[in-house]
Structure 1
Amino acid sequence: MFERRMTAGWGDMDFNSHMANTAYLNKAGDVRMMYLAEHGFPMAEFKRLNIGPVVMKDEIGYFKEVLLLDQITVTLCCAGLSQDGSRWMLRSDIYRSDGKLAARINSSGGWLDLTARKLVTPPPALLAAWQALYQTDDFVELPSSVSR
């Protein structure tokens, strides 16, 4: 399973002195981009290909508080994928240093052609990177997002 340790920083806090909902999304997004960069798709490669990941829906469930300077572990798994890779659902769990689940994020998205502004299938190497992710126990095959 792909995971990274991070710190809940000053800018991640909300008025109630715990990690803000947008900070959870940002940490999950950072880990997603770290995974892609480590699997041959840094920002420069997306720019060259003229495509990018687009999130169409995020769902967050909160379980335990994360406070300022807490160490967290953010995971990345595949919860769903279409056969052509045009559509995906990723899951990030955020754990506190005591091992307790703080939040679970499910993000659904696809690959956006940055010129045509429409969803496309990814190149084979990018599809392979998504297929290499650990699959959740409730993994589902998704329909394609590409019009035929």
Structure 2
Amino acid sequence: MFEKKLMAGWGDMDFNSHMRNTAFMDKAGDIRMMFLSEHGFPISELMRLKIGPVVMKDEIAYFKEVMLLDEITVTLGVAGLAPDGSRWQLRSDVIRPDGKLAARITSTGGWLDLNARKLIAPPPALLATWQALARTDDFQELNTSIK
């Protein structure tokens, strides 16, 4: 499982003094981009290819609070993937310093052709990068987005 240690910063907090809901989605987005960057697809390469990841749905389940300056571990795994890679479902767990699960984010998306503004299958090397992610226990094969 790909994972990084991140910090719950001042801008991540809400009025109740714990991490706000959209901050969890931000951390899940950050971990996706860190994974892609570390595996040969930094934003500069995606821009050169004129493609980008697009999220169509996020689901969040909350379990425990995260407080200001907590060092959190954010994981990334693949929960679903179309054979051609045009659709994907990624899962991120946010784990507190005490090892307890704080939140689970499941994001469903695909690859957007930035010129044509439509979903496409990624190039083979990018597909292989998603395929290299650890699969979640409930992994499922998804239907293609290509019509």
TM-score range, shorter chain: over 0.9
Residue identity opposite 1:101 in structure 2:
L
What is the match of residue 9 of structure 1? 9
Residues of 2 paired with 1:143 and 1:3: CA distance?
A: 27
**Counterpart residue type for residue 63 of structure 2:** F
Which runs of 4 or more aligned residues in structure 1 lie more than 2 Å from their structure 2 counterparts after TM superposition?
A: none
In the other structure, the counterpart of 2:54 is 54
RMSD of aligned alpha carbons: 0.3
Q: Distance in 2 between matches of 1:6 and 1:81?
A: 26
Matched, 1:72 2:84: no
Correspondences of 1:1-148 after superposition (within 5 Å): 1-147=1-147
Q: How many residues align?
A: 147
Distance across 2 between alignment mates of 1:57 and 1:138: 18
State the TM-score, normalizing by the size of structure 1: 0.99
Which SS does the other structure have where 2:26 is aligned? helix
Amino acid at match of 2:113: D
Give 1:104 shift.
Answer: 0.1
1:140 Cα deviation (Å)? 0.2
Q: TM-score, normalised by structure 2?
A: 0.99
Unaligned runs of 5+ in 2: none
Aligned AA (1:87): R
**Cα offset, 1:39, TM superposition:** 0.5
